[in-house]
Structure 1
């Protein structure tokens, strides 16, 4: 990497357009904010450096909080100084304050010396020493006049250090004190003077340098230092984004997203991958621990209609996709969450009835208002101001301590089913009141007692137990893929396990349609024809790695070996795979074992029941026997529907080549019938079943009889078909020999595990697929043409083998088998819980 350009990675692509047009993203400004926990130590700061290297470009903007608990230390210093000033002359002892200042200085020096080379560290330590002297002067002087200046040091030191580190190790950078450009009206409303602030920010940004800006602090119109409240650096980041019309803001913090409840209290909380702006604002207003109440206000510019997307991600696990806040479709609007606030007051007054309540809304922005019953809910800090305001209106007020618990989601107050469920979830709590928020994005229950962890967990369980969202990507839109999609609407409507499953991707070999807001399953193929775009594997993986769903399932209905090679990367991203594609399951032993290990390591589910037997439950039966403790010692049968049809039909009345060409016309064989006659397909199917049964072997361990003479194997398809009659003599001879013994010919697969003490595992394996002469009474001799038959012998099924028989090919049964796998996976995922990643907990 050069010193003038950073690597760029579109870490939160939200649509296939965003992936395919990544070059446009490289010219759009993005803002990255790093919280105090992300900058708490030299190790954390080096991790931030790697995030900047991977996710930023030179014209982006970095906003920082104070390192670790620096702001808390500064608050403590201020309080110590106050105590010292208030003490009598005899009781004043400057030593605790001096010691605390020295400890803070030592902590900052340690960060500097651990991260920077000696020369750069010397310069920063010199600047720090000057600041410490200024800090001492303010702490022992006119304390109240410099409260905000004292608190501002944390962000100032953090920005200065990160900028110096970037200059030394990564790219040109300059640190900017937000007080040099960011102008607000006051610390209560924090309304930004946008024109002045934007103009002054342009003056301080330097071309070709990555800007590092202090969060949390600003100035008022008189030039006095102001703060934006605790966690105000998030608000700083979105303000800066609005000033430069940034495309994205990412809040890098110690949690990997916004959850359906506080995950520190509710272990079953699930990540909300995408939140509409209005819902996120309501969550912030009602106490979500990640969202600052005012953070979301600047994200939509009413003049330019520019929408900035907000992401919340973890700096401790930057590869995990976080939560995105923006403008989304119906799927994101279905998300539900539960939040709470304790230590509130319920205030009753006549001034809260009717239109008069609007004045209270405007003046105090209460948690909730009921203008019919005449009450509001406010914070305890607002009690005095509200009392004084009502006194000026000569109105009495009655206060009662309360708490609230709320269900939050897009227009939930207008959804009768959600409100009814919320009421049922509160049946043991008996709330005082149930109130709709003014924006309809929440239903708020007012409780007479504090909201306990038990109440929160119970309500969260009742409200979100069926809210898990699963994205579905279908690869392969041929005959079977089309039938799978034709069946999908009715399956989604009638199968409970698929309730929150959404079709979000369609792939052919050359084109893709990806839509995070869902693809209408009733128009899937026509929408694909209309809107699909060209893609490559890198673009596909880029989108899949940042999908906005609790789980993602790829249904592979392709015959492509290249596509099967993507499975390893799918599994590494925790993506589940349903494969009708045989390549992965019959690949080399080393590759297959690696796929199994990757799937297990990343908790991915890999089902492939349609790789053998179409919709027949042969894979399921073998799995069930093994998991139940049985031991399989023999698998045999007729595994090819094409060869089943050919040899059940071939009686010598017509030549074999004529029969084969007729099957080709009917679509029974592959476009090149040698794919069937070679036996390779049967060989792969036997390998897949053998591995399912717990045997380790490779394709080369299975003897395969190729029914195509060697001199016809290398021809192109048309040349082979023109000379197909050269097959006739061999098959006529085989049939004649069988008829002489009152027998028949069938293409059979056999695997035998024979006990043998001198072998490594006590078993000798023999496996082959070949043309056999069978008695006409044999179980494999009398099948309906195209049928498959599977015979399993085991410790339990020794004398009377288990037989599974039925159609082994066909678009309906294969598509049905894929849907069976889909329901199976969704049922398994229903009880799955993803680990919440929070610094200090995990």
Structure 2
């Protein structure tokens, strides 16, 4: 034994002593997922992490085993070739067994393998006339027995089930499933307190003959089993991590479709999608069973979920193509013949005048044989298809127009909408070129990226942001695919992956929000099914800002009015920047300083253009701007402060403004944006609250606020003597030895640029290499619901414009 699973810990959900949950999930593993020993060990880990004892595991044959069996059937008349291929088949299976199992376990399977190989050898003498399907069944049988043995040896008891004892097909009714009998059988064969490993691809008819469900039939087996067991979910573990908007092997801009509506997925399968197959979804239609497509090579990746979803999932558009189609023309088709053709050969298209059908080449031989047996005269032609697929896409005028524009100047043979309305079909009398497929995909999916929007903080600014959102979504093309999917306060959250109606967002939050903690929020957001997720943080919470690291690790973009992360320790700040850049997340902080004023944009633009920032100065607090612009001695400072509080110009506790901490944080954010590395404590900060008032409650402070009056009266008198005014100023400047930074009260000349402000205005002065003698000044409202909410919307629009042209490189192992 060369390799074995080492140090596997029992998953509590797999422990036979644990109570088994009532619900059942089905996990299907394709041939590429079970191709070799390393793949099988990976599957074992996936089962440990994702399955429980009540679940059902469906397997394909290992790797290329089914192909090898088909080759054996074809070479039965060539003794030498047959012997070589049979030996190779046996050696491959024996190598897997010996590599994965200890001697005792291996001996039993090797004995059975020898008997099976001898059966194949014996049947070859008769050219497999009666045993063709029996031979093809060995691939799945060997795979199921091997996986069951590996699980039994290393994880928990496992039971291999031969699907021929379960799935019974009615040979008198076009081999339809005998559902009642199959349901009785699966209940009888499924063992309690064990993992049940079920063979895909194979079944039996009522006479006991082995039948197969067609190539890629294991997916179909999995959904049949889910239907019979009334399972909750089916996961198809394959070699790709989902369904894409086009075949990613030829369209490198294809994007993963995280969620697909059932009927759309079924249409994709009907038309020949390489991941979804025609019959796979049929058994799920009578139950509310979700289908997931995930990668066994990257099990941590979010795959594609298929189910009954709302409008966001229904807006998805994809392009599929098929170059292996046959068009059959005949004027002799009658109703009965067409019924038989539709039942047995699954045509992709039938002409309205009933004179032609288009079928996949896999059914061609059978269909032509049937028509010949009916003495029907017909002609055939190889054709290809490019199809645009989406929910009722045939009735979506703009998509239809784009598709037609992309096909302009092509020699298209026919353009039709499917009868179910979920696809637009373009047929050609030659193979569809890669260039044309890419052109169609680019034209019809150019604005189909779905961006989920989560808003944290529903105070004054958060509510105003929500009030502005409906109009913004309706009038700005950049926000066309933005969907409000989450709202959160400090205690409650509402997350709805089908979208939250923006015009009723606050009412829905009041009705449906749930209590949460940070870990639960992260779990919710980690499961998001969107191309991009944007979180707008309008909270003042340092605790919430501590989640940014986790957000960036998940690739979530953050728009922040919250100053805490941007003014955190240098180590924490740099870690955020590094994670953000590593994952491609965006972090927009333009409203952390100056509300909607473009000071951050100006600094970034100057630096990106090659300039250097030498000085940043100004008045950064709208509250302190209002106070000192209105403080002329006619009212005591404490009275003026009370007026500001009553008008909503200050924080509920005015000491939060008077402490200077807010200004200190803003200066730190700008200095860091300017390229300097410093801590908050490196900025000298004058606290305007005397020590005697710091430790009081808010009410006690307000009752004793008159203790501020003497100090500020003296400072005002001093300013007037100098023919000046009082202003609370932030200053950062580069020096020969580094920099100096402070925020505090200053006396400024009455003609100073900072002196003549409209109350509440902010002003920013930037001195750079290019703006030395005449500094750049930005002035305007630095606080307020409208300007701050507007600044956040500005960030959202700019971010969405950038995301619209973002492409992710598709990494795939292959497609079954």
Q: Report TM bin, short chain.
A: over 0.9
Alignment counterpart, residue 13 of structure 2, candidates 3, 6, 20: 6
Report the CA distance shift for 1:742/1:265 in structure 2 as closer, same or farther (over 3 A).
Answer: same
Deviation at 1:220, TM superposition (A): 1.3
Match 1:518 to one of 499, 502, 527: 499
Matched with 1:656 is: 637
Task: State the partner residue of 1:13.
Answer: none
Q: Does 1:834 align with 2:797?
A: no
- The Cα shift of 1:355 comes to 10
Q: Find out whether 1:320 has 2:301 as its counterpart.
A: yes
1:802 maps onto 2:802 in alignment: no
Residue from 188, 196, 204 that aligns with 1:219 = 204
**Once the 2 structures are TM-superposed, how far is the Cα of residue 354 of structure 1 from its aligned partner?**
9.2
User: Which residue number in structure 1 is paired with residue 711 of structure 2?
Assistant: 730
1:662, CA displacement in angstroms?
Answer: 1.1
Distance 1:389 1:142 in 2: 24
Aligned length: 806
Q: For residue 46 of structure 1, report the CA deviation from its aligned partner.
A: 2.0
Q: Does 1:55 align with 2:61?
A: no
Give a deviation string over 1:410-432, Cα, whole Å, max 9, x none. Answer: 11222233222222111121311
- Residue of structure 1 equivalent to 2:688: 707
SS of 2:634's equivalent in the other structure is coil
Q: Specify the SS of the correspondent of 2:386.
A: strand
Q: Does 1:276 align with 2:261?
A: yes
- Note the C-alpha offset of 1:43: 2.0
Deviation of 1:189 (Å): 4.9
Comparing 115-124 and 619-628, the one that deviates more: 115-124
Quote the residue 1:497 is aligned against. Answer: 478
2:362 is aligned with 1:368: no
The SS at the match of 1:213 is strand
Is contact 1:353–1:372 with CA below 8 Å preserved after alignment?
A: no
Matching of residue 779 in structure 1 with residue 760 in structure 2: no
- Kindly provide the CA deviation profile for residues 455-484 of structure 1, in whole angstroms up to 9, marking residues without a partner as x: 111111111111111111111111001100
Of residues 789, 795, 803, the one that matches 1:821 is: 795
Q: 1:117 aligns with which of 95, 102, 124?
A: 102
1:64 maps onto 2:59 in alignment: yes
Tell me, yes or no, if structure 1 residue 509 matches structure 2 residue 504.
Answer: no
Structure 1 residues 329, 814: closer, same or farther in 2, change over 3 A? Answer: same
SS in 2 for 1:839: coil
Unaligned 5+ residue runs, structure 1?
9-23, 85-91, 757-763
CA distance in 1, matches of 2:36, 2:403: 43
Aligned match of 1:717 in 688, 698, 703?
Answer: 698
Maintained 8 Å contact 1:402/1:447: yes
Is the alpha carbon distance of 1:666 and 1:32 closer, same or farther for their aligned partners in structure 2, counting shifts above 3 Å? same
* Farther-moved stretch of structure 1 (671-680 vs 62-71): 62-71
User: Paired residue for 1:173, among 158, 170, 173?
Assistant: 158
Secondary structure class of the residue paired with 2:744: strand
Contact 1:640–1:681, Cα closer than 8 Å, also in 2: yes
TM-score, normalised with respect to structure 1: 0.92
Q: Give the structure 2 partner of residue 695 of structure 1.
A: 676
Structure 2 distance, partners of 1:480, 1:462, is 38
Do the aligned partners of 1:353 and 1:371 also contact (CA within 8 Å) in 2? no
Give the distance between the partners of 1:563 and 1:610, measured in 2 at CA.
17
Instruction: Give deviations 1:203-257, integer Å, cap 9, x for gaps.
Output: 2222111111111111111112211111111111101101111110011111111
Given that 1:339 and 1:407 are in contact with CA atoms closer than 8 Å, whether structure 2 keeps it comes out as yes
**Matches of residues 397-796 of structure 1 in structure 2 within 5 Å?**
397-756=378-737, 764-796=738-770
Please name the residue that 2:360 is paired with. 379
Distance in 1 of aligned mates of 2:742 and 2:338: 84
Q: Is the 8 A contact 2:203 2:211 kept in 1?
A: yes
SS at match of 1:491: helix
Q: 1:428 to 1:342 in 2, by over 3 A?
A: same
TM-score, normalised to structure 2's length? 0.95
CA distance, structure 1, for counterparts of residue 350 and residue 589 of structure 2: 55
Residues 84-233 of structure 1 correspond to what in structure 2 (within 5 A)? 84=78, 92-93=79-80, 96-140=81-125, 143-186=128-171, 189-233=174-218
Structure 1: distance between partners of 2:371 and 2:351: 17
Deviations 1:639-668 (A, max 9, x none): 110011111111111111111111111111
1:175 Cα offset (Å): 1.7
Please state how far the C-alpha of 1:131 moved relative to its aligned partner: 3.0
- Whether contact under 8 Å (1:276, 1:327) holds in the other structure is yes
Contact kept, 8 Å, 2:638 with 2:705, in 1: the verdict is yes
Q: Is 1:76 aligned to 2:71, yes or no?
A: yes
In the superposition, relative to structure 1, how do residues 745 and 260 fare at CA in structure 2: closer, same or farther (>3 Å)? same
Shift of 1:111: 2.3
- Residue 33 of structure 1 pairs with residue 28 of structure 2: yes
State whether residues 187 and 228 of structure 1, in contact with CA within 8 Å, keep that contact through their aligned partners in structure 2: no
1:688 alignment partner, SS class:
helix
Contact 2:455 2:537 (C-alpha < 8 Å) held by counterparts = yes
1:297 and 2:297 are equivalent in the alignment: no
In the aligned structure 2, how far is the partner of 1:134 from the partner of 1:634? Answer: 87
Aligned to 1:18: none
Question: Please, which moves more after superposition, 277-286 or 36-45?
Answer: 36-45
CA distance in 1, matches of 2:344, 2:553: 52
Contact 2:60 / 2:218 at 8 angstroms: preserved in 1?
A: yes
CA–CA distance in structure 2, aligned partners of residues 529 and 785 of structure 1: 36
- Farther-moved stretch of structure 1 (547-556 vs 346-355): 346-355
CA distance in 2, matches of 1:118, 1:627: 66
Partner of 2:221: 236
**Maintained 8 Å contact 1:351/1:357:** no
> How far off its partner does 1:393 sit?
6.9
SS of corresponding position for 2:773:
coil
Q: Is 388-397 or 322-331 further displaced after alignment? A: 388-397
- Partners in 2 of 1:43 and 1:187 — Cα distance? 43
Q: Which runs of 4 or more aligned residues in structure 1 lie more than 6 Å from their structure 2 counterparts after TM superposition?
A: 353-356, 391-394
In structure 2, stretches of 5+ residues that fail to align are: 1-7
Which whole-Å CA distance do the structure 2 matches of 1:587 and 1:122 have between them? 63
Secondary structure of 1:131's counterpart equals: helix
Return the alpha-carbon distance in structure 2 between the equivalents of residues 451 and 804 of structure 1: 57
**Alpha-carbon distance in structure 2 between the residues aligned to 1:330 and 1:544:** 19
Once the 2 structures are TM-superposed, how far is the Cα of residue 134 of structure 1 from its aligned partner?
3.1
Bigger mean CA offset, 510-519 vs 785-794: 510-519
| In 2: Cα distance, 1:234 partner to 1:169 partner | 26
Aligned CA distance change for structure 1 residues 184 and 357 (closer, same or farther; 3 Å): closer
Distance (Å, rounded) in 2 between the aligned partners of 1:110 and 1:200:
33
C-alpha separation between the residues in 2 aligned to 1:312 and 1:712?
62
